[in-house]
Amino acid sequence: MDEDEAPTLKAIHIAHVLVVGGTDRVIAAVAKAAHAVQLLLVECSAAEAMTVAAQMQPLVIAVPEPLYARSSARFDALARDVRGRILVVSEEDVSVAHLETNLRALMREAARERPNTGRPY
């Protein structure tokens, strides 16, 4: 390479889980599960969900059960738009092990629909 040539930059794909409208308890549990499956956690309000999802392109969108019940069609459409998957999280029975299992399965499912990211989810 000549001194005048800049190195070619490679895109780095970072897998995300987006928590929409989560309580502290839900966010903490999803954060632990996300860490275990190597997903970066991003959180936002329900009002910000469309914008943040479009920017971050999360593999998984985690939504508390009551919020999902009120707007399931909206969240399902959002997940389709970003080629992600929805994880409905119970606010009463938050099990990190259960979340981890579900996150792993959903992220693999979503990754299969996306261009090759170089990561074997």
Domain boundaries, the chain: 16-112
Residue 14: its pLDDT value, please?
79
Residue 94: its pLDDT value, please?
84
Count other Cβ atoms within 10 Å, centred on residue 60: 28
Residue 11: its pLDDT value, please?
65
Extract the residue ranges of the chain whose pLDDT is less than 50: 118-121
Residue 44: its pLDDT value, please?
97
Q: What's the rounded Cα separation, in Å, for the pair 71 and 9?
A: 40
Residue 38: its pLDDT value, please?
92
SS3 of residue 16 by DSSP: strand
Residue 64: its pLDDT value, please?
96
Cα 96 to Cα 29, 43, 60, 65, 70: the distances in Å are 5, 17, 15, 16, 24
Residue 120: its pLDDT value, please?
47
16-112: CATH homologous superfamily?
Response regulator (3.40.50.2300)
Report the chain's mean pLDDT, rounded to a whole number.
89
Residue 26: its pLDDT value, please?
95
**Residue 32, Cα to own-chain centre: how many angstroms?**
13
